[in-house]
A and B are shown apart, each in its own frame.
Chain A
Amino acid sequence: MQAKKIATMGLLVALAMVLSWVEQLVPLSVTVPGVKLGLANLAVIFTLCRIGTRAAWGLSLLRVVLVSLTFGNAYSLWYSLAGALLSLVVMTLLRRTGRFSLLGISVAGAVCHNLGQIVVAAAVLGSASMVYYLPVLLVSGTAAGVCIGAVAAILVRRVRL
């Protein structure tokens, strides 16, 4: 049981990393930094629903650190971490209420990821003008969240561990 869980988590962390990498290969937008699909959130939501809250937190935070070390820079670590943390907090809380489906959880997670990143970026720049990106990111985050949520719902139902 224990060994199986370790193996499963290792697999999921690797999957989350690969999803992040695939996403960086296909940039969706260059005009507004931060517009993205959030493929890695598939692995996070799957883990949150099928394995547990603690596992999902571990997976998400580990992914951010590993992806920043391999593909990113010192700054991307901090704002990715802020996005991931805020997203995890909100997704966990919404799931605990039991009143939202995966679609709602995924949308909230995506939007919060963008929010967390903007807050840190604004702090790094010492300027609030990042908020100009916010309307675009809220809309793109919602769209991405709907897509990821729909796929995650299928995966959570169909995948056998």
Chain B
Amino acid sequence: MRKRTLDIILIAGVLLAAALLWLWLRPVEAGGSVLVIQDGQEIARYALHEDRTVTIGEADYNVLEIQNGQAAVTDANCGDHTCVRTGAVSRAGESIICLPHRLEIRIIGGADSSVDIVAQ
């Protein structure tokens, strides 16, 4: 019986931490840019409302497409294609990550992320 109680406290603690983190991480800025970060360094920054297609890198490439206020990686030659399958991001704090190329595409500013993050 006592074990069950501790289990429930543990689970409640983890869920509480998740809720607090989510509230804390909710972005509040306004502006709307697409940040391209490689090896932890910002290598480019584009406005989210200007449509464009750029190829990041040469031998190891990711094609970044910004269209209708959304950014997506449409093609890449990384092994797992997680970046492509992530789909389009548009809200502050959302990001597309390509671990094999140590690349991150992050949205900053713009509309507040009011979408329930769990239901994405």
Q: How many residues of A contact B (CB 8 A)?
A: 33
Q: How many residues of B contact A (CB 8 A)?
A: 37
Contact indicator B3/A131 (Cβ below 8 Å): no
How long is the Cα–Cα vector from A124 to B17 in the complex, in angstroms?
24
Contact indicator B99/A31 (Cβ below 8 Å): no
Q: Please give, as numbers and ranges, the residues of chain A lying within 8 Å of B14 by CB-CB distance.
A: 107, 111, 138, 141-142
When each residue 15-42 of chain B gets 1 if its CB lies under 8 Å from chain A and 0 otherwise, what string results? 1011101100100000000000101110
How far is the CB of B72 from the nearest CB of chain A, in Å? 12
Q: Of all chain A residues, which has the CB nearest B2? A: A99
Q: Which of B10, B41, B117 contacts A104 (CB 8 A)?
A: B10
Closest 6 pairs (CB-CB, A-B) = A126-B40, A104-B7, A138-B18, A135-B22, A101-B3, A135-B18
Could you tell me which B residues sit within 8 Å of A by CB distance? 2-4, 6-7, 10-11, 14-15, 17-19, 21-22, 25, 37, 39-41, 79-80, 82, 85-87, 93-95, 97, 99-100, 102, 104, 106, 117-118, 120
